[in-house]
Structure 1
């Protein structure tokens, strides 16, 4: 289908909008800006479009907007962010009597789709940050830094913009999934479990063992360990087994069976299937590839 758009551009005179044309080099190497701006948009401001090859991030500073996307409607207030794929149908508009004040960026690049898929894994293109600190939020600050690069671009601008966009995409994931925590906020028992899994990864520790040892419900253990360590405990344990097996495949002459036993897996066929699932190739192919480098 062809791209189409309908819109009403009722934004204030102090609003900003920059439209960029990227070079082939920029499209191959970088995350890059297609359009970027800051709007104070009054009723009847709206945009309705479909089939635009672009991703859009919009961050609300004040006022209220509405987003309709993938069959659902979302109300947007100060501190709210949405991240959408503009190939899909979208409609967004001002709904408050006061102007809808926002930062926004249309962007593209080789890995943006992967960030978008990760962002959308909980099913929602919107998340809510603290409205009281919306102007101090790192998302807003990065978007402001990107805006400041636009009026007088030079040979460094594409490089600088790409770094900032990568920072922005990471910040979206950190905040949406509450990963913007300090090390001191990690519960001590989570660190103890991590250390136990790393030291005893050969033993095949179960959730029931962890529940009994730490007197905490296993479902809570999975939830909190996943939040702070990035993987559930059992997956974390498997990752340690696979990492150790990689070292043995690279630097030892142990057979595949001996390596399987060394990491605590008695069934060699199961180890080979697990390794291929996690690494993408079989243990023997991995050994051949690494030794051939």
Structure 2
């Protein structure tokens, strides 16, 4: 059996280096294939500091990727490895690993410095996540989303298997989505429906049946998943009908008086609320501060006039409440990345 260990060792080395190896590796690893190998590895590393240690150079700093794990999952659990093309790494969101586990005690993973994002959706059983100094209990319908560069430890804590869909992924805009996700400081939320899990399943099917269009479709699905994560997480905080009346009043005032010079003091008088508190509440419910909302409303109105009227840029600037045309040009370009005249021509 020694030759099998050698083969498995080199296979796992490719797995550990999967973000730097540009060959098509798409495989489904079941417990019955790897069980004996992993038991041998665990025994051979028993008492040592870690398993799977690799130096990753990020900028000028050397960081160690390391991982410890127990692979106690059922025979019908699935783990798919994927190495994306160079094109996908440059242009798309892409899968690094994806799967569906029914993991029994003492299943766990502990790692740090892996350039990847991980999302898990819990179907049943219970898991525990330790991340960024916080501890979360994961039950049916719970989702966690983490940056694997930071220290993480997750494990099964229930007597029955912890069943979950999961996906390791990365992409050019993944950092920005994660930053938006973490605005409330929590890596865990309870899903409102099963769409996130459905997307993971659809993505896994594409990884397993790889074809010429798969990377395009996988990128679209991951993008949909990230949008769904944000929608479901932040819809839980409040429903649209629960937006306070004073916020609705402030929003309507901005829209009705957008041609006028409006300050936070004006809104303070209208809403009878301290301007700093009003700005904070408005941002929470509407998504941007009130003055930024006013600017966006003016720009959107200007776009409509540029597209559907023959008015000059100067006239349009005045129509949206901006008396200085050069400032209007600069503001429009900053918000749209083109001048008003360019927008009109391209329209």
In the superposition, the TM-score normalised over structure 1's length comes to 0.77
Match among 107, 112, 127 for residue 50 of structure 1: 112
CA distance in 2, matches of 1:88, 1:276: 39
CA distance in 2, matches of 1:137, 1:181: 20
- The answer to whether the 8 A contact 1:248-1:254 is kept is no
- The answer to whether the 8 A contact 2:322-2:328 is kept is no
Q: CA deviation at 1:153?
A: 1.8
CA distance in 1, matches of 2:333, 2:222: 32
Are residue 154 (structure 1) and residue 214 (structure 2) matched? no
- SS of the aligned residue for 2:64 comes to coil
Q: CA deviation at 1:43?
A: 0.8
- The answer to whether the 8 A contact 2:299-2:332 is kept is no
Q: CA deviation at 1:37?
A: 0.3
Match among 33, 39, 42 for residue 101 of structure 2: 39
Q: CA deviation at 1:220?
A: 9.3
Are residue 102 (structure 1) and residue 164 (structure 2) matched? yes
Residues 177-213 of structure 1 show CA distances to partners (whole Å, capped at 9, x for unaligned) of 1189998898999777655533421224567766876
Are residue 279 (structure 1) and residue 335 (structure 2) matched? yes
Q: Which residue of 2 aligns with 1:254?
A: 314
Are residue 74 (structure 1) and residue 136 (structure 2) matched? yes
Q: CA deviation at 1:245?
A: 5.7
Residues 13-39 of structure 1 show CA distances to partners (whole Å, capped at 9, x for unaligned) of 111110001111111221111100000
Distance 1:181 1:69, change over 3 A: closer
CA distance in 1, matches of 2:121, 2:68: 21
- The answer to whether the 8 A contact 1:37-1:104 is kept is yes
- The answer to whether the 8 A contact 2:313-2:340 is kept is no
CA distance in 1, matches of 2:245, 2:202: 37
Higher Cα radius of gyration: 2
Distance 1:73 1:183, change over 3 A: closer
CA distance in 1, matches of 2:155, 2:76: 19
Alignment of 1:175-194 (within 5 A): 175-178=232-235, 194=251
Aligned residues: 281
- The answer to whether the 8 A contact 1:51-1:88 is kept is yes
Q: CA deviation at 1:263?
A: 3.7
Residues 68-116 of structure 1 show CA distances to partners (whole Å, capped at 9, x for unaligned) of 1112221211111111111111111111111111110000111111111
Consecutive unaligned residues of structure 1, counting only runs of 5 or more, are 131-135
Consecutive unaligned residues of structure 2, counting only runs of 5 or more, are 1-62
Are residue 238 (structure 1) and residue 298 (structure 2) matched? no
Structure with bigger RCO (C-alpha 8 Å, 6+ apart): 1
Q: Which residue of 2 aligns with 1:18?
A: 80
- The answer to whether the 8 A contact 2:333-2:339 is kept is no
Distance 1:292 1:203, change over 3 A: closer
- The answer to whether the 8 A contact 1:174-1:180 is kept is no
CA distance in 1, matches of 2:239, 2:210: 36
- SS of the aligned residue for 1:92 comes to strand
Residues 91-148 of structure 1 show CA distances to partners (whole Å, capped at 9, x for unaligned) of 1111111111111000011111111111011111111235xxxxx5211111121122
In the superposition, the TM-score normalised over structure 2's length comes to 0.66
Q: Which residue of 1 aligns with 2:121?
A: 59
CA distance in 1, matches of 2:242, 2:214: 37
CA distance in 2, matches of 1:252, 1:176: 44
Q: CA deviation at 1:276?
A: 8.5
Which sits farther off after the overlay, 46-55 or 226-235?
A: 226-235
Q: Which residue of 2 aligns with 1:111?
A: 173
The RMSD of aligned alpha carbons is: 3.8
